[in-house]
Amino acid sequence: MPLKNENLTRNQKIVLDLLKNTKEPLGAYTILTNIEKKGIKAPLQVYRALDKLIESGKVHKIESKNAYIICKNSNCNSLKSTSFLICEKCDSVSEIKRNNLKQDLSILSEESGFNYANHNLEIYGLCKSCGD
């Protein structure tokens, strides 16, 4: 049951607001540094807010970077799954939106007798701007 924005708590809003205004993924301690002026003092406050935002699909974690980014898909169909294109040159990240990706990966899994639940896909390369 994805939360609506109105249901966000103070700390969650602060963290989400910061991520809204940032293109690159941010580490938890970078987030902390950037919101200390708003009264957030401890890492745990950041991690707790991130946990909730991730649960509700508003934020995703990029595992290979230990960094967090806002979800731009208004109706992100995958709360637990993530699919990213990560530019190795400019560090920009975009989400793959193709909605049959989960299905494709599910089929791929079945080929090995594996029952798909969710996934993390992190593709590295050059984005449109950097790849020219």
Positions touching DNA (CB under 7 A) are 9-12, 27-30, 39-45, 47-49, 52, 61, 66
**By C-beta, is 48 or 102 nearer to DNA?**
48
How many residues make contact with a copy of itself (CB under 8 A)? 33
Q: Locate 10 and state its tokens.
A: 């103070």
3 state SS for 29-80? HHHHHHHHHHCCCCHHHHHHHHHHHHHCCCEEEEHHHCEEEECCCCCCCCCC
49 binds, among DNA, a copy of itself, none (CB under 5 to 8 A by kind): DNA
Task: Compute the least distance from the CB of residue 68 to a copy of itself, in Å.
Answer: 14
Candidates 16, 17, 117, 123; CA nearest to 65 is: 123
Task: Compute the least distance from the CB of residue 74 to DNA, in Å.
Answer: 22
Task: Compute the least distance from the CB of residue 8 to a copy of itself, in Å.
Answer: 26
